[in-house]
Amino acid sequence: MLSNQKIYEGKAKILYTTNDPEILLTYFKDDATAFNAQKKGKIIGKGKINCTISSYIFQILKANNIPTHFIDCPQSDQMRVRRVKILPIEVIVRNIAAGSLCRQTGLTEGTILKFPLVEYCYKNDDLQDPLLTRDRLLLLELATPEQLDQIRTLTLKINDLLTNLFNQCQITLVDFKIEFGLDKDENLILADEISPDSCRLWDLSQADPNQRVMDKDRFRRDLGNVENAYQQVLERILAHQGSNTP
Ligand code: TMP
Ligand code: ASP
């Protein structure tokens, strides 16, 4: 499966070409990084878990008319995707205050936001992914005004669908990061992954601020039990899948 040419290696995934120029194979690694790769480690089993979770989420989104790059999952740590040109924008949605929002605004962690906050960061490791304003984004020509409107509409719809899905898994979707790409016809398509690496997920049944964390914050903040938390998210997602398959 992985005999084709490697065209890109990122911090958590490797991209390979396939026989079809419009299709790529993504291999999900166990490698984990944080703070712009200043912290490095491995989360054993993460590649398979994130690929499986992402695949299920992409299928749910697809069924709800969100265009995604997902094609199929030939092995548990490999995803076939449509080739897209990734826009260098990290789109972040927040439902509850956490992370950099608290650091940058003084809001208390756990504050429920009055509306879902959509933010854009420049996907640029050298500049440490800075927060962008709409005007800066347009100035840098990272997207057109029309693409930006479409990104916002799709993102809010994705947030509704994911909030609902995770709620059914007894998990609060605090915030998440997504990325979009353009296919060969310039259509905007959801790409990358949606997993405990790219979301903040809190266990609804846990009130303790450390115990409730089921995502990469366990690795970022050295909270321990990282593998268990990822596995728990997978099990709840699989149970959801089981109860929703006719
Ligand atoms: P932040 O609070 O650190 O800005 O993170 C917001 C969300 O984005 C959170 O769900 C984690 C996710 N995220 C990534 O997926 N990649 C990143 O590089 C960072 C900094 C955050
Ligand atoms: N993915 C990012 C990195 O290493 C950071 C993070 O997820 O916290 O660089």
CATH T-level topology, domain 86-224: D-amino Acid Aminotransferase; Chain A, domain 1 (3.30.470)
Ligand nearest to the CA of 102: 1
pLDDT at 1: 53
Q: How far is the CA of 77 from the centre of ligand 2 (A)?
A: 20
Name the band, by pLDDT with cuts 50, 70 and 90, for residue 2: low
Look up residue 50 and give its two tokens: 């994130």
3-state SS string for the chain = CCCCCEEEECCCEEEEECCCCCEEEEEECCEEEECCCCEEEECCCHHHHHHHHHHHHHHHHHHCCCCECEEEEEECCEEEEECCEECCEEEEEEEECCHHHHHHHCCCCCCEEEEEEEEEEECCHHHCCCEECHHHHHHCCCCCHHHHHHHHHHHHHHHHHHHHHHHHCCEEEEEEEEEEEECCCCCEEEECCCCCCCEEEEECCCCCCCCCECCCHHHHCCCCCHHHHHHHHHHHHHHHHHHHCC
State the average pLDDT over residues 24-49: 98
pLDDT at 246: 56
Residue 96 has pLDDT above 90, yes or no: yes
| Protein residues whose CB sits closer than 6 Å to any atom of ligand 1 | 92, 98-101, 129, 175-177, 198-200
Q: What percent of the chain has pLDDT over 90?
A: 97
Q: How far is the CA of 200 from the centre of ligand 2 (A)?
A: 13
Residue 245 has pLDDT above 90, yes or no: no
Regarding predicted confidence, which is higher, 119 or 3?
119
State the average pLDDT over residues 5-17: 97
Express each pLDDT in 39-94 by its tens digit: 999 999 999 999 999 999 999 999 999 999 999 999 999 999 999 999 999 999 99
Ligand nearest to the CA of 177: 1
Extents of the domains making up the chain: 6-82, 86-224
| Average pLDDT of the chain, as a whole number | 97
Residue 224 has pLDDT above 70, yes or no: yes
pLDDT at 23: 97
CATH architecture observed for domain 6-82 = 2-Layer Sandwich (3.30)
Residue 30 has pLDDT above 80, yes or no: yes
Name the band, by pLDDT with cuts 50, 70 and 90, for residue 195: very high
- Atom 5 of ligand 2, residue of closest alpha carbon: 34
- Note the pTM of the prediction, 2 decimals: 0.97
- Atom 6 of ligand 2, residue of closest alpha carbon: 34
State the average pLDDT over residues 154-171: 98
